[in-house]
Structure formats: structure tokens, C-alpha cells
Structure 1
Amino acid sequence: MYDPRFEHDACGVSFVVHVKGVASHRIVQTGLGALCSMEHRGATGAEVETGDGAGILLQVPDKFLRKVAGVALPPRGAYGVGIAFLPADHALAEKAKAAIVDILDDEHLVALGWREVPVDPSCLGASARKVMPSFSQLFVAARGDASGSSRDGAAGTVTGIELDRKLFVARKRIEHELPAELRTYFPSFSSRTLVYKGMLTTPELGMFFPDLSDQDMESALVLVHSRFSTNTFPSWPLAHPYRFIAHNGEINTVQGNRNWMRTREALLSTPLIPGLERAFPICTLGGSDSMSFDEVLELLHLSGRALPHAVLMMIPEAWENHETMSPEKRAFYRYHSSLMEPWDGPASVAFTDGTVIGAVLDRNGLRPSRYWVTDDDLVIAASEVGVVNVSPERVVRKGRLQPGRMLLVDTSLGRIVDDEEIKRSLAAAAPYAQWLADGMVSLPDLPDREHVVHSRESVLRRQQVFGYTHEDMKVIIAPMA
């Protein structure tokens, strides 16, 4: 029988970014072209028109949205936007919208308005059309910023990541609290990024969402993904990109990672996200490995860590037996290993928050990724060569990701940040070695405890406490006895 725990992916991932942060429609078109070049990385069923999934993540296209929103929007960064996957039935969709507005109001957010997203279902296969949701774009601002002014009269006081933290809690409540018949999914809900995706083939993405062809749809970076999922069923929400990542590979440790996150929720808190417990559980039940990874990364980032920092917490390089690693970097990894278990692949993960964009290869190194830097300040990265036609004379640098290494472009700095610089800076940002010396206890240093003779009656209880199963007893313990 089908079991979502046995999901595996072998997908196509690419990003295109202007290093200096210059937004244009050309970047969007180049990204869509790269996506179409990875059509063979995606999968279809018996219907060639029904794909496993395709999508694009881009910066919030402020110029385009002001043209089509139908409502007055606050300054850029002071409003959030997302495409809601609503129930296909119109009456249920309206009920879902009303429930969403109530939750937003409870979270001190204002729904500025809804926009019906134009789509062209004629390109879809019958299976994709049968389960297709309805699509509405929701514009949101913090209460007091809805008209571009805040409680103290300053324009857009809740902006950027601060607004995204409020949207995060509201979105998680929407996901958890709406009844099944009103269930709504937001591919993204942010003041910084916007995602278009679905149960599509790569050529269908641009046709299905006419928004992407508008000349005012501009971005300085795009992240695209073509999904090939085995041992799972495609669905509209499980297409990539997610809110921060697109992923090629699989997270083979995902069940343990989810269990640890669930266990830690009772201890989680941050002054940056008041009432964080309203967002629990962090990992959506029944989600894919990539979805769970993205949800945890989102929490780590919104709770105050730079995105590269959060990524390295989840995908560390092989540091424990690295004899030439600097003490500072080793302390960084050792400290964070006590906070977060590695999400091991094989996996290649591309990530962005709308300002920085990058990719990292896990320490297994089994999902290759290549990159090119051109003479007109473009960086193109992909899971294979040739996704974008670039004349060889325009390429000023090219390379491949190595296991445990990170490629990062920071558009606010206008440059590529080297892997060594990233990690050196993060390792020096806090006294990790001192924290380890002060707070970490080594087991060999503990005093020997008094010998305890356990009764026979306690054997079963102790076996249950330590997770023994009938299979363990029969297959492992009994033959050794």
C-alpha cells in the first residue's frame, strides 16, 4: 500500500539572479526558459498533460501588483501577498475567505483585498483539472498600515521580515484551524517573495499563469523547480518551490527530524514571534520531506537567524572528523549540533529570502549542481548544464557545488559571497567555543552512578521506554542470546 514515508524525489532545480539586484522581466523569462529546459527532470503519468509539479519563486513584483490589485497598496515591503489555493466550489471558497479574514483580524492584520488570479486550465490534463483548486491573491497589511500609515503616523512601520513573522503565525493558523472542507493552502504568504506553482509540467507553468508573461512582472531573482516524485502522488501543494527552498533529492532522515521538532515544540519560544505556540505543529502532518524541511527552515530564519545560518544548521558539512577545520568553525558546528540534527540527503537545496539566493549540497554530495557567472552580472545555477543558452565568451566563471559547500549571492551587497567567507563570518558572530566550554557536559566526565539491580518485572517497562519492538527482540536480541 502507498505510504508517504517512502517518498523520493529526483527533480530539476535552477535559479537565475542579477548580482546587483536589478529587477527585470528578462530574469523571469530566463528562469521560465531554464525550467522548460528541465522538462525531462519532471514526470507525467499516463496523461502527458498532467505533471508532478512545476513552479517559480520570485521577488514580490510591486509594479505589477499595483497595476492589478484593484486596491490601494501600502509602500513596498509594508504589505504581504500570497496566492491562496482555495476550495474549487465557489460557496466553500467564499466561506474559507471569510474564515481567513477572521483569523487575520485576530492576528492584528488587515485583508486589503482579494484578486482572482487568471488561469488557463485548457492546458491541463484531466487528472490535474479534476483536483485543481481555485486561486485568489490576498493582500494583507498590519493593522494601522493598511492605508500606508501606522498608529503613530509613520508610513509602513511593520515591514519586511517583521511583517512576515505576523503572516507566518496567521498562515499556520489558517492551515491548522480551517475545517477539511474549507482547507486552504498558501504556497507563499510574504512581503518579500511570491510563488506560482501547481500540478503542472514545465511548459504549462507560463501558460497556466498568464501573470508570468506580463512585462511588469519583474524580479532580480527567480528560483524554479521541475518535480519528479516516485512512490508518491502528485498534488498541487506538493509542487516546488516552497516558501524558501527548492530541493533535488530526498531527506532520508526526515522521520527522525520531524519527531525531534515535535518533541522540542514545548520548549520553543522567541520574543520575535509572540504567541509562537499558535503556529504548532511546525511540520505539517502528511507533508513531503521537502515541505517539512522548508517549514523548519522558515522557523529558524524568522526567529532571528540569517538564512545561510539557518541552512547550515540543517545541512552541516562533514565536520566531526575534519582534521584541518578551524577551531572556530568546528565550535560553530558542534554548538548547533546540540540544537538541530542534520537533515541528511542526498540533497541539493536552493534557497532564497528575496534578497540572498544560494544553493548548498549536503555532505553526501550525490546531487550535482553547476553554476555560471556571466559578464552582465547574471549568476545561473542548475542541477545540470545547458539549462540557459549562454555564449562561452560571456562566461567569466563557472564551477560546481562540492559536498558541504555553499554558493551564495547577496543582492544587497551586489556580489557573490564565498563559502569560506560565509562560514568564517558566522563562526565569528558569537563565542561558540566559550558557550560549549561553559554549557556542554561530556558523558565521560560524569561521576559513576550507584549500581542498580533491576527486577525482572521491570524488563518490559524498560523495553518500552527505550523503544524496543517485537522485531528487535525476535530478529536481533534472540539470535544474540
Structure 2
Amino acid sequence: MTNNYVSEYQRNARFLAENGMYDPSFETANCGVGLVASIDGKPNREVLRHAFQATRALDHRGAVDADGKTGDGAGIHVQIPQEFFKRHIRRTGHEPEEGALAVGQVFLPKTDFGAQERCRCVVEAEVLKYGYRIYGWRQVPVNIEVIGEKANATRPEIEQIMIANTLGKSNDDFENDLYVIRRRIENKCLSENLTEFYFCSLSCRSVIYKGMFMAGEITEFYPDLNDELFVSNFAIYHQRYSTNTFPQWRLAQPFRMIAHNGEINTITGNQNWTKAHETCMASPVFGAHIEDVKPLVANGSSDSAALDAVWEILVRAGRPAPAVKALMVPESIGQNALMPKEHEDLFAYCNSVMEPWDGPAAICGTDGRWIVAGLDRNGLRPLRYSITGDGILLVGSETGMSEIDESKVVEKGHVRPGGMIGVDLHEGKFFHDRELKDWTASRQPYGKWVDNIVKVDQIIKADSPKPCPWPEDILMQHQQLYGFTQEDFELILRPMVETGQEATGSMGDDTPQAVLSDKYRGLHHFFRQAFSQVTNPPIDSLRETRVMSLRTRLSNLGNVLDESPDQCQVVQLESPFLTSTEFHALKNYLGEDA
């Protein structure tokens, strides 16, 4: 693909979007994902060796262009090899300071040198404004021979900025400052229309190498990864398969904290709720800088990028990665009679705070301390894992992605629906699903907190007035006003009442959509189920009660960055459709002005 072709595509896409014929928000992806971790938390090359081998095994999960080299995107997220970057600083004639340095992996405009320099100026200004010192910029070595013509045509300038912790802050505080700095930079560049600027990562803990190449070419494209000083205690890897999205360098994964295989079916609702929650967000971690990190989800973000953005701020505000996974992608508690009470209380709390980001989702993520892998409640994307005797955890979309001596394997398994496993890199300990949820549930007295949840059945008094049935002639008038026809009664409702089953038939349906009909159609006819917005079939709450419910809540727009019993002061409804009795009971409970 030439630059002319790329610009022509972009012009056409812009024209279609402006004229209502194309909506980039419907773009989604489905991929392969995995991680490798050293359970004792010590960095080594063995972790990367396994990760590179597993990544090469993911080639079949990604699409490839006709040139045989341009891929949908692949990448790897690793711990910053401090000695590798400090060696580079010494070669420039400077002595690096004690403690961890930060590295920002940056995509800059490729051919617009003026825009390149302006981006660097914005980055440097914000870093210096916070009082940190910049060691300098480093041009990341790349081998363009291994990528295709189309990937090279859109390849950004890839550079790294190295930053000293001159304020002597802890790694946690340094990391939080870097997050705010990055968000300020991103918003500033966006306001100046520097749209080709992108931070792959800005951290004192980890760095991300990614791009539009096939997964097996990552170590060829980035020679840095072959250096013996390049060591890590974890590696999250990803191969993107773009189902209906034009591939871009910035959309390659991993993102800042997670890599995701699957699709977030509820993404439109999740993004809208995120905007609503932003108005109430506050945290002592950010203080007055909370406005600098908004909006959380950038326009045009993929579903995975949006998930990552919300995951990141929850981590920055103080939640560990296992708690964030439980909050955002919870286990179903609807029909799980075997779930421990402590876990049920945990997920009841989670459901009171935030709307679930419903999968299918296989997620590998980190917060700098924890490495976690988990599935959504349906478990429609696989995650297999193995643990070796020398303390290496391997997790992937498939088993056998990295060659290991079977005699050294001490455990094999898979992550179950709604489950998660993890490693505490500081403590050097592996957690199974039950153990990890036990740890997460013990962080707060969730059992006491969820007592604040009021269920609608609790506020329906025994003497609540029951609606009187209408006389037959009045009932028929209401049915006609509602839009019922004789055909509805005979062909749809009668079989359902008599057999308890959904009516079936072989006739076609030539009824026009409500918006195009010249007949009166009730307001409800203008709406359709929007749960499954990507490639998966709609989920039926009656047929799939184990993983699906219509349960919702009122009075839930609190501060999602907080953790407190006040967040459970909600009214829980089993369905958004209220009976007359429920409606009147709620009206009396919430007051006449509700």
C-alpha cells in the first residue's frame, strides 16, 4: 500500500462517515493472546524465550495481506530492562541516577518533520513541568525488511524517551505521575490536531513493543528484544485478527495494561456509562489533576482500547488487577449455587458499582505487581495454562504454544468461565481461581456493604394495592392501542400460553420496520436488542440464566474510583420492566419526585 493509497482510503472513510454511510464505532477485532511469568518475580531471558516462541505460534490467528508480510498487528508487553537502558544512557556520556528510570515508547508522524518536533516539544514540556529530568530521546532500531509494503507505508517514527525519577518518589507515585503526564500530553496533541502521535507506553515498570507485522517477526523487526540484557519477569503477547477493521499501528496490542482476545458486546453501553461516571470521578491519587485524565475513552477507540483505558484508571486509583478484573468482567452469580458466600458478596458489590463489560473476553493484564489471566462469564474464548518445575507460568489461547519438557510440567489446566488466575510478582506466588477470589474478596468487608442493597421485593408491602383487571371491552381497547392484532393472539401468544414454548412458523415477515411504516407503531417497535453488537448471537436471559440476567439498579451513579459501603446504597431490580405493583412501590419508596 502506498501513501497515496492510504490517504485515499482515509479520504473515502471520512467522506462516508460525514455522510452517514459509515460508523467506525462498529469496528471490532478477534485475536490470540497469552502471557508468560516468572512466578518468583525475578527477571530472566527464559521468560522472553517462551514468550517469543509462543508469539510465533500465533501467526495462524492473525490475518496477512497479499504481500505476505503485512499483518493486522502484534506486540509484546514486558518489564523494563533497566540495565539495558542505563547502558544506553552511559554511552551518551551521562551517568543514570539511582532507582528506576521511566521509558516512553512513542509513535510519531513519519514524514511530517515539523509535526514530529512539535510532538517532542509537547512531551518534554509536560515532563519538565512535573519536575522530572529527561535523559534524552532514543531512536528505536527497526528492521523494515521484515514488514510488508503496506505496513511500511503507514509505519510511524518509533522513538523512546527516557526519564529520571529526580523527585525520588516511590515507583507507585512515579507511575501515577507518568499516567497523568501521558494523559495531559495526549489531550494536548489532540487539541493541536497531532493525530498521528501515540504513546504505546509511558512507565517506570514496563514497555510495549508492537506494530503491523506478523507475530513471528517481532524479534526481527525490533532487534532490542534479542539483546541479552533485555530481561523480564513477565511478558504479555498478542496477535491481532482484524475482522472488519482497517489495521493500524496504534491498534496493535497489547495496550497499556491488557491484551484482549474477543469482543466487548456491550461496548456502546459501557462507553456511555463511562462518560456518565466521569462526572463523579474523584480520587486522592489524582487530586486536582482528575480532569486532566478525562475523557477516559478516546473517540475512535476499539472495544479493547476502551476496556484498557477504564482498567488503567481503576488501577491507578488504587485497585489491584484482580479486583479490577472482578469489577469489569465479573463472574455470573445468577444460578451458581456452589459459589462461596464471600465471592457472591464480592460480585454483588461489583454489580452495584459498575456495569459489566460483557465478552466474549480472554484477558491477560498487569498492574505492575499482579499478572492476571481471566475469562468472561460465558467463557467463549479459551485460556490454557501450564506451570513448570522451574517456576514458569505459561498462559495462552491454545496449549503447546511454547515447547517445554513435559517432564518439567507440574500442573496444567484451563481458566473456567468467569474465572481468573494470577501471579503476585512481589510475593512470588501463584494463585488459582478460588485462591485469587478469596484474596480479592478479603480486601474489604463486602458482606456488610451489600446489606445496603435494597431489592424491589423488600419494598413491596403486603397491603400494596393490586391493579384491578380491566373489563373485557376496556382490555381490548388497550390491546388495540398497544398494537396487538388478532394474528398476534392466534399465532404467537396462544402457542406460548398453551405449550409454554416459543411459537414457530415458516412464513416470511414482510412487516416494514417501524421507522418506514405508514401504519401506527408503538414506541417499543422502534427499538431492537443492542446487547450483542459484534459477531455473536444475542443472549437470552431465559434460556441462559446461568450467565445472563436482566438485573439492573437505580441510584448507581457514584464514584467508581472509590471503595466504600455507600456504593451499595442502590435499589436492585430483577428486570428493567416493572409491574404496576413494583412501579407504585418504587414511587412511594423514592418519593413523589422520583
User: TM-score when scaled to structure 2?
Assistant: 0.72
2:116 matched to which residue of 1?
93
1:114-148: CA deviation from partner (whole Å, max 9, x where unpaired): 11111122222111111111111112245xx1xxx
> Counterpart of 1:348?
362
Partner of 1:226: 239
Q: Percent identity?
A: 36
How many residue pairs match? The answer is 448
In the aligned structure 2, how far is the partner of 1:183 from the partner of 1:237?
9
How far apart in 1 are the matches of 2:97 and 2:270? 39
1:245, distance to aligned residue in structure 2 (A): 0.8
> Which residue in the other structure is 1:137 paired with?
160
Equivalent position of 1:49 in the other structure: 69
Matches within 5 A, 1:48-447: 48-69=68-89, 70=92, 71-77=94-100, 79-88=101-110, 89-142=112-165, 145=166, 150=167, 156=168, 158-178=169-189, 179-181=192-194, 183-274=196-287, 275-438=289-452, 440-445=453-458
Distance 1:125 1:255 in 2: 34
Selected match of 2:47 from 11, 27, 35: 27
Q: CA deviation at 1:107?
A: 3.6
Q: Structure 1 residues 111, 474: closer, same or farther in 2, change over 3 A?
A: farther
- Cα root mean square deviation, aligned: 2.3
Deviation readout 1:397-441 (Å, 9 max, x if unpaired):
101111011111222222211211221222222222322324x33
Q: Secondary structure at the match of 1:99?
A: helix
Distance, in Å, in 1 between the alignment partners of 2:170 and 2:516 is 54
Distance 1:76 1:43, change over 3 A: farther
Greater than 6 Å deviation, 4+ residue runs: 447-450
In structure 1, distance between residues paired with 2:525 and 2:323: 46
Q: What CA distance in whole angstroms lies between the structure 2 residues aligned with 1:326 and 1:32?
A: 39
Contact 1:371 1:381 in 2 (8 A): yes
* 1:218 aligned partner, one-letter code: V
TM-score by length of structure 1 reads 0.88
Counterpart for residue 464 of structure 1? none
Native 8 Å contact 1:118 1:211 kept in 2:
yes
Once residues 187 and 23 of structure 1 are traced to their aligned partners in structure 2, the CA distance between those partners, rounded to angstroms, is 22
Give the match for residue 554 of structure 2: none
* Structure 1: tracts of 5 or more residues without a match: 151-155, 451-468
Offset at 1:104?
A: 2.2
| Kept in 1: contact 2:175–2:204 (CA 8 A) | yes
Distance (whole Å) between structure 1 residues aligned to residue 380 and residue 116 of structure 2: 43
CA contact (8 A) 1:316 1:333 kept: yes
Give the superposition deviation at 1:324: 2.7
Report the Cα distance in structure 1 between the residues aligned to 2:444 and 2:414, rounded to whole angstroms. Answer: 30
Q: 1:432 to 1:75 in 2, by over 3 A?
A: same
- SS of equivalent residue, structure 2 residue 199: coil
Contact 1:159–1:191 (CA<8 Å) still a contact in 2?
A: no
Pick closer, same or farther for the CA change 1:336–1:479 going to 2, 3 Å: closer
Give the Cα–Cα distance (whole angstroms) in 2 for the partners of residues 360 and 283 of structure 1: 22
| Whole-angstrom CA distance in 2 between matches of 1:394 and 1:344 | 37
Distance apart, 1:90 and its partner CA: 2.6
Q: Is this contact kept in 1: 2:384–2:396, CA < 8 A?
A: yes
3-state SS in 2 of match to 1:416? strand
Between the aligned partners of 2:323 and 2:399, the Cα distance in structure 1 is 28
Report the 3-state secondary structure (helix = DSSP H, G, I; strand = E; otherwise coil) of the residue aligned with 1:53.
strand
Task: Map Cα deviations across residues 265-324 of structure 1 (whole Å, 9 max, x no partner).
Answer: 110010011211111000111011111111101011110111111111011111133223
- Of structures 1 and 2, the larger Rg is shown by 2
**Is the CA contact 1:247–1:349 (under 8 Å) kept in the aligned structure 2?**
yes
Secondary structure of the residue aligned to 1:282 is coil
Q: Which protein, 1 or 2, shows the higher relative CO under an 8 Å CA cutoff with sep ≥ 6?
A: 1
Question: Aligned to 2:278, what secondary structure does the other structure show?
Answer: helix
| 115 and 429 in structure 1: CA distance in 2 versus 1, 3 angstrom threshold | same
Are residues 63 and 434 of structure 1, via their aligned partners in 2, closer, same or farther at CA, if it must alter by over 3 Å? same
**Which residue identity does 1:420 align to in structure 2?**
R
CA distance in 2, matches of 1:479, 1:134: 48
Give the aligned partner of residue 461 of structure 1.
none
TM-fit CA distance, 1:2: 4.8
Cα distance change, pair 326–234 in 1 and its aligned pair in 2 (3 A):
same
Q: 1:61 Cα shift?
A: 0.6
Tell me by how many angstroms 1:236 deviates: 0.6
Alpha carbons of structure 1 residues 327 and 122: separation in structure 2 relative to 1, 3 Å: same
Q: Is the 8 A contact 1:247 1:347 kept in 2?
A: yes
Report the alpha carbon displacement of residue 13 of structure 1 after superposing the two structures with TM: 1.1
Distance in 2, matches of 1:30 and 1:203, equals 13
Taking structure 1 as reference, are residues 325 and 471 closer, same or farther at Cα in structure 2, changes over 3 Å only?
farther
Q: Is the contact between residue 62 and residue 239 of structure 2 (CA under 8 Å) also seen in structure 1?
A: yes
On the 8 A contact 1:92/1:182 being kept in 2, the answer is no
Q: Deviation at 1:57?
A: 0.5
Aligned AA for 1:126? E
